[in-house]
A = this chain, B = another copy of it.
Amino acid sequence: MNLKTDLDSARDYSQQIAQTIRDAIIAGDLPVDGRLPSEGDLAARFGVSRPTVREALKRLAAQNLIRTQRGATGGAFVNRLNFEQAQEHMVTMATLLLSMNRVDFETAVEARFSLERTCLPLACTRRGPEHLARLRSEIARQAIDGLTDEGFCASDVAFHRALVDAADNPVLSWHLAGAVEAMQPLMNMITYTARSRAQIIALHSALACALEDRDLAAANAAMDELNAYTLELGSEIRTRRDRNRS
């Protein structure tokens, strides 16, 4: 637990302190669930005031690297980063990336389906009955009459999430689920007619059946169709929007 305590007075102290502690965590010098020195201690070590140390700790808390607890035995503890939290971060980041960089619909869709396709070989091999059940249950929900658009989109995401989980590789699931969920805002625009819902449900069913039969070629074909149909809907939306504008 020896931290470099010499700071460059030209740059933000809180940033440098955060970086020092972050490096220590990444290097494994601070064990998971280990307790950091108290804010007062850290302030004394770095030769800064407590508010400055607090700003540094808040930076780390924002990245889920530490958690804080009040009370006598409280303090700042190194978090075990879990896949769920990390995924939230990734979705937030990916969503912002897409919206702030004017990524066009085709590029995003291409990336999404390219990525999602990677789970199919593994999913065909490893899918268990519980994965098939999840897929079927989401398909059933999507077919409910009177389901709201929000409900349909949520179930759509859950379906694809189940699909990537069927590959039974948590690291892969993390990457792919992040990619899929980040697309949700873009996908929300295109599933608002009964016709498109029926078509999407049909393709979902085809995917589920392909997984059940462990038929990789069929799964790839269904994914291709879903890809093409998504692009088609997207260009339809654009046409309609352009017509309204003029």
Interface residues of A (CB under 8 A from B): 14-15, 18, 22, 25-26, 28, 32, 51, 54-56, 58-63, 65, 80-83, 86, 89-90, 92-101, 103, 107-108, 110-112, 114-115, 117-119, 121-122, 167, 169-172, 174-175, 178-179
Contact = CB atoms under 8 A, between A and B. Distances in A.
Instruction: State the copy count for this chain.
Output: 2
Contacts of A14: 58
Given A107-B169, A115-B175, A175-B179, A82 B58 contact: no
B89 A93 contact: yes
A98 B172 CA distance: 12
Contact of A97 (B32, B83, B100, B179): B83
A67 to B, nearest CB: 11
A65 B93 CA distance: 9
B90 A93 contact: yes
Given A89-B93, A115-B118, A170-B107, A80 B100 contact: yes
Name which of A62, A81, A103, A119 has the most chain B CB atoms within 10 A of its CB. Answer: A62
Contacts of A61: 15, 59
A112 B172 CA distance: 8
A219 to B, nearest CB: 14
Q: Which of A15, A167, A174, A175 has the most CB of B within 10 A?
A: A175
